[in-house]
Structure 1
Amino acid sequence: IAAGAAAGAGVDLLVGGLTLGAAAIAGAIAGGALQTARSYGNRLLGKLKGQRELTVDDSVLRLLALRQKQLVQALDLRGHAALESIQLATPEDKSWREGKLPQALDKARAHPQWSSLNPGKRQEQAERQEQIEILAQDL
């Protein structure tokens, strides 16, 4: 949206303000429409190809995060030659059970192409790596 508004404002400046800001508004609308078309266009194209988009509920993400955290802690304490199985107790950490998910997970949800399960995965993106580091610090 901002890029479209900036382009429209540039047109306004080029014509000396004769459009009275109409170009900026039109640019913002065009930018918003393009952003929406990209998001929903990919979903629609996927449906036409027979692909389905799956999402995970917040409670499932919370449980996975807590279990992952417990597993990492258990493996840190486990000896190399340990023979017994790992026992995980009920998590005591209530911060992940209630409230909103971390912002890094919300951003990851908005970018399904970041998943390693997708054939067209884009795991080398700097923004993805940044969100991984932020989430690792939260855990």
Structure 2
Amino acid sequence: MNEPATETRSVVVEREIPFPPEKIWRALTEPHLIEEWLMKNDFKPAVDHRFNLRGDWGAVDCQVLTVEPHKTLSYTWDALGLESVVTWTLTPTSTGTHLRMEQRGFRADQQQAYQGAKFGWQRFFANLEQVLARAD
């Protein structure tokens, strides 16, 4: 039942961000803000909503799985043969929010996608922090 072929890896990025969860939630769920730090999109924070993220290199097909305002957001992330799930978790802290992003579902033979995601999410997070710093 437990063949190595089914084992998958995750990319996890965690940050302490000096803004309340409500503000970060907006950046994660409002299409015009998502576009500023991630990609063009037709996102709606509604379970089962299908949306695309569009970058210069192509598109990501997504479907919303979980929406718990200011707490948890997850959606499928399918691109270039990768079938994965991205989960955002927001935890209030005394100074702001602990933001955790996990993208799980990288197979052993998807080393390039895995490394690309590790690199890409660091950049997306840097962009996200810039958007938060200037958004109201």
For the criterion TM > 0.5, the same-fold answer is no
Give TM-score, length-normalised by structure 2.
0.22
Q: Which has the larger radius of gyration?
A: 1
Give TM-score, length-normalised by structure 1.
0.22
Which structure is higher in helix share?
1
The structure showing larger relative contact order (alpha-carbon pairs under 8 Å, at least 6 residues apart) is 2
Which structure is higher in strand share?
2
